[in-house]
Amino acid sequence: MSVDSSRRIIVLRHAKADWPAVPDHERPLADRGRKDAPVAGRWLAGTGIIPDLALCSTAERTRETWKLFAHELPSRPRTVYEDRLYEAAPGQLIEVLQEVPDEVETVILVGHNPGVQGLTEVLAGGSEADTLTRLRSTGFPTAAIAVLAFEQSWKALEPAAAHLTTFYTPKD
């Protein structure tokens, strides 16, 4: 595969979390989150876009989301649980994505807001206006998915380098 071939980034915000008296990093999913995560996984599986690699925050709610989501995919990609994704700003998320091996065509990043919305907006410089406008008007709800495409190597990923091709929310 050429490093200039088409690549995709699937950005998944964790499903709805509960608010028990535990540290933020340890918050589990709420009942609604446990219902929404597999629905989102089925939606992605139905698009035919299947990740080669998953990068998942180490927080309990992201790990639980990913487990329920990935169960709906036709095959489970290699998963890396990454501390740097927790509470990460868009620039930090781009740095993690720049480390993805060149043989990976499609990566899913399972993370948190406001970082995932910021990442999507920063990367989606050349997107269709209606998709980007919809993202900005709805925000990035829990269990939402953005799919971005770009034509460079992972190392060359930078702001405005991608196109936001799809934006799914659980209300869809």
Per-residue pLDDT tens for 103-121?
999 999 999 999 999 999 9
Q: Has residue 64 been placed in a domain?
A: yes
Q: Has residue 2 been placed in a domain?
A: no
**Separation between Cα atoms, residue 145 and residue 11, nearest integer Å:** 6
Per-residue pLDDT tens for 56-90?
999 999 999 999 999 999 999 999 999 999 999 99
Q: Which domain holds residue 152?
A: 7-168
Task: CATH number of the domain at 136, please.
Answer: 3.40.50.1240
The count of structural domains within the chain is 1
Statement: residue 165 has pLDDT above 70:
yes
Mean pLDDT of 129-134: 69
pLDDT at 127: 58
Dump strand ranges (E) for the chain: 7-13, 53-57, 78-82, 106-111, 145-150, 163-168
pLDDT at 146: 96
Helices then strands, counting H and E runs in the chain, come out as 5, 6
Q: Has residue 1 been placed in a domain?
A: no
Taking the CA atoms of 128, 14, 117 and 55 in sequence, report the sign of the dihedral they define: negative
Mean pLDDT of 35-51: 97
**Separation between Cα atoms, residue 65 and residue 37, nearest integer Å:** 6
